[in-house]
């Protein structure tokens, strides 16, 4: 059994499945042990020398037929019932984990790479499911089946039973060893495979350098070394796993042989009328004992393996529990207020921000005000903090209380749902889902009509591009569909945000990959369609922002200037430089 | 690793007939034929030894009936011990056979991997750009491993199982021909059931793998895009999508479980039924107790080989698909190769001439338009211009990473097409914009997998020359310090210096430098500039320049605009002209 807070509710929910499963297992295990007995009886009957043995033989045949049906039906039932339970639990845990991941903030996801979380979702959940399903089977077999068989063996003959069972412990030890050693060598092999993989990955990526310096031969030699190591480890892995297989067979053969010799001796003494220690062993009984021994092999191996299996499942469960119980850092405060009828007035007051794992302030003492309906620009070099600023409005990270206000309400005191519903955001990385283009645009509005989607696309000047695709708005984005250009992705994200129709729109460097003419069209769209609503445009080009109401210039997290284009030309050196650079580029093209 | 076949296509992939695949696979097998023949012989012997075990048990059981047999204890003892003896012999043979195959199989895979890797090395950059690194890596590492299964496992397991079925059948017929005939009915049922089942289950496994991979993609995408989901307040909707996928996946899992829940118990049922039949007919056909015991033992060996055979067929198909991918990659011909009469030149003076060069990466989108210029030996030339003007492209044409569509390039008056690519590249010291460092040691990175050829002292001398000693000396392990993937444990300035060291060590006659634009701390910047100054003395130097000092010291500055040369001259001359360069200079290089 595997215990834990997460699992106990599932046990409560599915206890009946486990109960039915274990009960069928017990019955199946029991009827199987009737076979060695029957075999022994047959041998006794055949060797009894009596002429009419038809009836007792038929009885035995009937028993075996019952066993056949019992085992067939029983195994089908426990497979379905137990795996039904484990797969339901698997689904439930996955569900809990996904819900949890939706509540986690970016800073958590930053510290725990997606790769790790994916591993918890796959490998770790599988360990647990495996243990709940197969582990249960192995546990029942290991304890119950071996108990019945051992009792039956003692009932037949204590001496042979003892002689067989003692070396059986070797098999248990073997099971434990196999799990331990094999899993460690398996890991070694896996590591070597990874190494080969990584080496190829790195070196094929860096082939340019190798070619430049004509070091192909040397690189191939290095590759051969890694491949050679992989080859050796594979041979070693094979050797050890074959050795394990061979050794278990030899152990079993040896026990078999001992049982035959000792049993044969006892039968011979008994036949000679001089039974050893009064033991009167019949040949049929000896055959039964050997049959019992055969059916004891699997439970013994299972016993060894289930121990290791459980410890792995326990580790996995611990990891998953840690994830599900990890602290959430962005949530509604106790007396959070609902933002209603947002007009789009934004005030940033002395905002200082640093990432939870950062060692310097990304923004320091930033203050500015955006009146409702204004469109403002934010410019600055890479690292000026402009992108960070853009995500803070939607509280992707917590900000100090009293530093950002929307319509006079501190965003830390507003409900997350109402805050985010009122802000539309175009991210810099243009993350799109591998879904149809139309669905990507209608992302936040499941019931968006075709007209609405097309209108949003026209807003972002992507309508023409999309209609040019063979499947139009049904074109799939991603590896199975078309690969969109950076500019197209940007414009689709703009359309997606536009469709949200929020009082505040924040665009983080969203037209950088778009040509100047299209950029102008998008800017016109903004002026026209977002009239009276607040828009914040973060940009790396002056052309994007020069015609806006106001422009904020950030330099290393500090406000250098905030004003109109003309004002900035006078007071902001950063801005002046950007303008000159742009003029030059304009000449070049 | 679940690899979805349809998503892993590569440029050059093609269908090969089974015959071609078999022939090419056999070519790899040929060298190890002795191993395979020996393994097959051992295999046959081991199956034979295995078949003796039920016979020993039969004799033993019959002898136990002392009333009839009247044997002495010694006979029983010998039979008992011979059981162990046969087991030991059998297992020993199996061990030898397995290891022979492993060694041979791994050797083949090792060779195959080297062949594939070497082949990838020979591709031109243009070809490599068309092949996603991930797909190439999968071929080098993963598909080759699939093939190794074929040699070490599948082929032999097929043989072993056929031999076992044949062996069991033969022994059964020896014991009782009539009962054996009845058993053949069971054999046929299991046979048919297994093949249908394995085909069916292969299909649901495929569906399950696909669902699983879709599920993982969904998760990956949603975890990476969680910011968007949260900002657009779409958690509920995504949760609903997740629920549907989660449910689907579970249903498929249960489909697999149900399939096995019918098949496996059915085979168990047949096994026990066969025992019942044996007991029943043993009486009819008047078999001995020993015969019954032998049959009992044989039956336990009878059904599993059939199940295994069905599995092997699936593996065989997988190996076929993998080898098809490998062979088609090996069939892609490198597109930049030496002409047959190409010259090997060991030392260049360093005169470079571009004569009316036109170049486009994609058809007709000209990056370079009619570019002509000459560089005298020992000169330093700087290329200047806006992004996309074609500066970097000029440099990659010299090293023949790409071939111009029109026009020619000459070094020392020889058309570079007529020079062996390797001897050409050996003469060039290329320092690329983003320095690629490999994981390993600093020395490995400077010598590029050639650590043994150079002594530490030689490498250190070069490092001192380019000022890389300044930081290498501060590291505990000096030249043997670890470099992590992509060299992330070094600053961009330090990486630059390492790439300089790499270049100087190779003793080139022509230096090609694409200056990085990355922010470099002032201290390292001074070191880089000083080292560049020294390197100008090595030979001809072509630089895509971003540094004022580099430009100022150039013998000639070539100004490019949209693929054309628009101005040329020294720094002072160009400033005097008050043209494009003048303006560019003002914005890019003058401190405000």
Phi, psi of B388 (to 5 degrees): 85, 5
Mutate to test the interface with A, among B3, B6, B141, B336 (most CBs of A within 10 A): B141
Query: What is the reported pLDDT for B352?
Result: 92
Look up tokens 């270049």; give the residue: B503
Closest of A374, A378, A376 to residue A345, by C-alpha: A374
Lowest mean pLDDT segment, chosen from A10-19, B133-142, B339-348, B419-428: B133-142
The reply to whether the predicted model has a pTM over 0.80 is no
Q: Which residue has the tokens 């031999």?
A: B163
* pLDDT score of B517 more than 70: no
Give A369→chain B minimum CA distance, Å.
22
Residue A207, C-beta contacts closer than 8 angstroms, at least 6 positions apart? B120, B121, B123, B125, B128
Q: What's the gap in Å between the CA of A92 and the closest CA on chain B?
A: 9
**Interchain contact, B449 vs A219, CB within 8 Å:** yes
Tokens standing for A182? Answer: 């094999």
What gap in Å lies between CA B73 and CA B75, rounded to an integer?
Answer: 5
| pLDDT at A547 > cutoff 90 | no
> Which DSSP helix (H) or strand (E) runs through A375?
strand A375-379
Contact state of A425 with B231 under an 8 Å Cβ cutoff: yes
pLDDT tens track for B294-347 = 888 888 878 888 878 877 877 888 788 888 888 888 888 888 888 888 888 888
- Residue A536's pLDDT is 92
- Record: contact A46-B152, CB cut-off 8 A: no
Across the interface, which of B114, B221, B428 has its CB nearest the CB of A434? B221
How confident is residue A189, by pLDDT bands cut at 50, 70 and 90?
confident
pLDDT at B18: 81
Name which of B276, B514, B588 to mutate to probe chain A: the one with the most chain A Cβ atoms within 10 A of its Cβ. Answer: B276
Chain B residue numbers touching A207 (CB-CB < 8 A): 120-121, 123, 125, 128
Query: Is residue B480 helix, strand or coil?
Result: helix
> Can you state the percent helix, strand and coil of chain A, rounding each to 5?
65, 10, 25
Sorting pLDDT into bands at 50, 70 and 90, what band is A504?
very high
Other residues' Cβ atoms within 10 Å of the Cβ of residue A36 = 24
Nearest CA in chain B to A239: B99
Phi, psi for A255 (deg, rounded to 5): -60, -45
A42, A424, A581: residue with CB nearest B292: A42
Distance CA B587, CA B592 (A): 9
**Contact between residue B199 and residue B314 where contact means Cβ atoms under 8 Å apart:** no
C-alpha pair distances (Å), B154 with each of B59, B111, B360: 35, 19, 49
Residue in B269, B425, B485 closest to A68 by CB: B269
Q: How far apart are CA B318 and CA B153, in angstroms?
A: 13
What tokens does B159 get? Answer: 């043989």
CA distance B500 to B478: 17
Given a contact cutoff of 8 angstroms between Cβ atoms, the answer to whether B12 and B329 are in contact is yes
Residue with tokens 């607040």: A534
Structure confidence by residue, pLDDT tens digits, B357-403:
999 877 667 888 899 999 999 899 999 877 667 888 898 899 888 88
- How many angstroms separate the CA atoms of A24 and B231, rounded? 51
Select the residue from A55, A263, A588, A589 to test the B interface by mutation, using most B Cβ atoms within 10 A: A588
For B96-151, how does the pLDDT look when each residue is reduced to its tens digit (9 = 90+)?
Answer: 988 898 888 888 888 888 898 888 888 888 788 777 777 788 888 888 888 888 88
**pLDDT, average across residues B184-190:** 88
Residue A291 token pair: 């049959």
A536's tokens? 């914040």
Q: pLDDT at position B7, please?
A: 47
As given in the structure block, the two tokens for residue B332 are 């892609």
Partnered with residue B560 across adjacent β-strands are B385, B565
Q: ipTM score of the complex?
A: 0.82
Residue with tokens 């923004």: A363
Q: What pLDDT band is residue B522 in, cutting at 50, 70 and 90?
A: low
- Please provide residue A433's backbone torsions phi and psi, each rounded to the nearest 5 degrees: -85, 155
User: Would you say B495 and B442 are in contact if contact means Cβ atoms under 8 Å apart?
Assistant: no
Handedness of CA A349, A352, A355, A361 (dihedral sign): positive
Which residue, A33, A140, A89, A210, is CA-closest to B444?
A210
Position A331 scores a pLDDT of 86
| Widest pairwise Cα distance in chain A | 123
Question: Which whole-number Å values give the CA distances from B512 to B504, B532, B563, in the listed order?
Answer: 11, 12, 19
Q: Do B450 and A218 touch (CB under 8 A)?
A: yes
Residue B411 DSSP code? E
Alpha carbon distance B487, A206 (integer Å): 12
Nearest in space to A538 (alpha carbons), one of A560, A511, A561, A504: A511
| pLDDT tens column, A255-291 | 888 888 888 888 777 777 777 787 777 777 888 888 8
Contact call for B226 and A39, based on CB within 8 A: no
**Nearest CB to B231 within list A203, A216, A394:** A394
In this complex, which of B117, B289, B389 lies closest to A47 when CB atoms are compared?
B289
Domains, chain B, ordered by start: 15-330 (1.20.1560.10), 352-591 (3.40.50.300)
Are B272 and B173 within 8 A, CB to CB?
no
Give the span between the Cα atoms of A460 and A490, in whole angstroms.
9
Q: Which of B58, B107, B125, B137 to mutate to test the interface with A (most CBs of A within 10 A)?
A: B137
List the single residue in A84, A87, A227 with the smallest CB-CB distance to B114: A227
CB atoms inside a 10 Å sphere around CB A464: 10
Gap between the Cα atoms of B292 and A46, Å rounded:
10
- Whether residues A46 and B88 touch (CB distance < 8 A) is answered with no
Distance in angstroms (rounded) separating the CA atoms of residues B459 and B465: 10
What does the alpha-carbon distance between residue B360 and residue B258 come to, in Å, rounded to a whole number?
59
**Residue A3 vs residue A331, higher pLDDT:** A331
Query: Which chain A residues touch B122 with a CB distance below 8 Å?
Result: 216
């Amino acid at each position: 059994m595997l215990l834990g807070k997460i699992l106990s509710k599932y046990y409560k929910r599915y206890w009946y499945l486990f109960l039915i499963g274990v009960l069928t297992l017990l019955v199946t295990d029991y009827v199987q042990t009737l076979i060695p007995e029957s075999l022994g009886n047959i041998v006794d009957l055949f060797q009894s020398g009596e002429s009419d043995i038809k009836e007792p033989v038929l009885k035995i045949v009937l028993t075996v037929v019952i066993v056949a049906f019992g085992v067939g039906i029983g195994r089908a039932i426990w497979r379905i019932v137990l795996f039904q339970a484990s797969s339901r639990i698997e689904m439930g845990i996955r569900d809990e984990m996904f819900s949890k991941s939706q509540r986690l903030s970016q800073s958590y996801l930053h510290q725990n790479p997606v790769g790790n979380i994916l591993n918890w979702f796959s490998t770790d959940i599988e360990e647990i499911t495996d243990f709940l399903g197969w582990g249960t089977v192995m546990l029942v077999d290991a304890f119950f089946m071996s108990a019945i068989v051992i009792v039956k063996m003692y009932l037949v003959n204590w001496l042979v039973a003892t002689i067989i069972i003692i070396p059986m412990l070797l098999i248990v030890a073997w099971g434990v060893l196999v799990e331990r050693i094999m899993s460690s060598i398996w890991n070694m092999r896996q590591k070597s495979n990874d190494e080969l993989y990584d080496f190829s990955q790195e070196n094929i990526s860096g082939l340019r350098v190798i070619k430049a310096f004509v070091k192909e031969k040397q690189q191939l030699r290095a590759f051969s070394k890694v491949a050679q190591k992989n080859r050796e480890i594979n041979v070693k892995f094979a050797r050890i796993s074959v050795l394990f297989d061979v050794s278990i067979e030899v152990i079993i053969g040896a026990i078999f042989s001992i049982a035959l010799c000792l049993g044969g001796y006892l039968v011979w003494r008994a036949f000679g009328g001089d039974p050893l220690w009064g033991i009167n062993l019949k040949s049929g009984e000896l055959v039964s004992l050997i049959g019992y021994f055969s059916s004891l092999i699997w439970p013994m191996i299972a016993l060894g393996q289930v121990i290791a299996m459980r410890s792995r499942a326990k580790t996995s469960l611990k990891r998953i529990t840690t994830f599900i119980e990890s602290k959430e850092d962005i949530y509604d405060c106790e007396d959070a207020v609902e933002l209603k009828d947002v007009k789009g007035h934004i005030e940033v007051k002395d905002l200082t921000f640093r990432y939870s794992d950062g060692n310097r302030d990304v923004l320091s003492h930033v203050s500015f005000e955006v009146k409702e309906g204004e469109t403002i620009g934010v410019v600055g070099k890479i690292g000026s903090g402009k992108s960070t600023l853009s995500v803070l409005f939607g509280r992707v990270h917590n900000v100090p209380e009293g530093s950002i206000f929307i319509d006079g309400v501190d965003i830390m005191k507003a409900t997350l749902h109402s805050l985010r519903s009122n802000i539309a955001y175009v991210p810099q990385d243009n993350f799109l889902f591998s879904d149809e283009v139309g669905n990507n645009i209608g992302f936040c509005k499941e019931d968006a009509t075709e007209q609405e989607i097309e209108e949003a696309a026209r807003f972002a000047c992507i309508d023409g591009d999309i209609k040019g695709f063979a499947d139009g708005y049904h074109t799939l984005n991603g590896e199975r569909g078309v690969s969109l250009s950076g500019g197209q992705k940007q414009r689709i994200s703009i359309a997606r945000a536009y469709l949200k129709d929020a009082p505040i729109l924040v665009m983080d460097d969203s037209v950088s990959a778009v040509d100047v003419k299209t950029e102008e069209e998008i800017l016109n769209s903004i002026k026209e369609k977002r009239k009276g609503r607040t828009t914040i445009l973060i940009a790396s080009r002056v052309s994007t922002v020069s015609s806006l109401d106001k422009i904020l210039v950030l330099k290393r997290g500090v406000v250098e200037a905030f004003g109109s284009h003309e004002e900035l030309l006078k007071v902001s050196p950063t801005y002046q430089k950007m303008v000159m650079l742009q003029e030059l580029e304009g000449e070049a093209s | 690793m679940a690899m979805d076949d349809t998503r892993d296509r590569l440029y050059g992939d093609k269908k090969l007939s089974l015959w071609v695949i078999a022939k090419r696979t056999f070519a790899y097998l040929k060298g190890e034929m002795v191993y395979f023949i020996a393994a097959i012989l051992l295999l046959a012997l081991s199956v034979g030894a295995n078949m003796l075990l039920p016979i020993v048990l039969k004799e033993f059981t019959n002898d136990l009936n002392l009333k009839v047999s009247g044997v002495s204890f010694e006979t029983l003892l010998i039979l008992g011990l011979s059981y162990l003896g046969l087991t030991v012999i059998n297992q020993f043979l199996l061990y030898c056979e397995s290891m022979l195959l492993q060694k041979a199989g791994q050797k083949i895979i090792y060779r195959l991997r080297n062949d594939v890797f070497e082949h990838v090395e020979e591709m031109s950059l243009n070809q490599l750009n068309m092949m996603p690194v991930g797909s190439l890596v999968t071929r080098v590492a993963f598909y080759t491993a699939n093939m190794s299964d074929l040699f070490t496992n599948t082929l032999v397991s097929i043989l072993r199982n056929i031999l076992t079925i044949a062996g069991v059948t033969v022994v059964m017929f020896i014991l009782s021909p009539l009962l054996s005939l009845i058993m053949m009915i069971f054999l046929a049922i299991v046979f048919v059931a297994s093949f249908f089942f394995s085909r069916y289950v292969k299909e649901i496994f495929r569906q399950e793998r696909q669902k699983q991979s879709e599920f993982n993609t969904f998760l990956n995408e949603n975890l990476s895009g969680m910011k968007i989901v949260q900002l657009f307040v779409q958690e509920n909707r995504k949760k609903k999508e997740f629920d549907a996928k989660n449910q689907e996946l579970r249903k498929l899992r249960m489909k697999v479980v149900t399939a096995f829940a019918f098949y496996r118990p059915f085979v168990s049922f047949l096994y026990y039924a066969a025992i019942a039949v044996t007991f029943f007919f043993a009486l009819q056909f008047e078999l001995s107790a020993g015969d019954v015991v032998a049959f009992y033992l044989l039956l336990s060996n009878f059904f599993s080989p059939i199940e295994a055979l069905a599995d092997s067929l699936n593996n065989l198909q997988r190996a076929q698909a993998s080898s098809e991918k490998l062979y088609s990659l090996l069939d892609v011909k490198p597109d930049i190769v030496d002409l047959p009469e190409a010259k090997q030149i060991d030392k260049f003076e360093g005169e470079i001439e571009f004569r009316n060069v036109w170049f486009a990466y994609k058809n007709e989108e000209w990056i370079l338009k009619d570019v002509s210029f000459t560089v005298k030996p020992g000169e330093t030339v700087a290329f200047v211009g806006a992004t996309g003007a074609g500066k970097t492209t000029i440099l990659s044409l010299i090293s023949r990473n790409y071939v111009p569509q029109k026009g020619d390039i000459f070094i020392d008056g020889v058309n570079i097409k007529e020079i062996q690519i390797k001897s050409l590249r050996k003469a060039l010291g290329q320092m690329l914009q983003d320095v690629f460092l490999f994981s390993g040691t600093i020395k490995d990175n400077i010598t590029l997998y050639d650590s043994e050829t150079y002594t530490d002292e030689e490498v250190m001398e070069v490092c001192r020359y380019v000022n890389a000693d300044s930081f290498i000396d501060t590291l505990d392990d000096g030249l043997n310090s670890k470099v992590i993937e992509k060299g992330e444990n070094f600053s961009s300035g330090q990486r630059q210096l390492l790439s300089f060291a790499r270049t100087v060590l190779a003793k080139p006659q022509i230096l090609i430098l694409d200056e990085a634009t990355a922010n470099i701390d002032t201290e390292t910047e001074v070191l880089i500039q000083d080292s560049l100054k020294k390197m100008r003395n090595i030979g001809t130097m072509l630089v895509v320049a971003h540094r004022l000092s580099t430009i100022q010291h150039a013998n000639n500055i070539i100004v490019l605009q949209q693929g054309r040369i628009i101005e040329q001259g020294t720094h002072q001359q160009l400033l005097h002209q008050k043209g494009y360069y003048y303006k560019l200079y003002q914005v890019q290089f003058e401190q405000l």
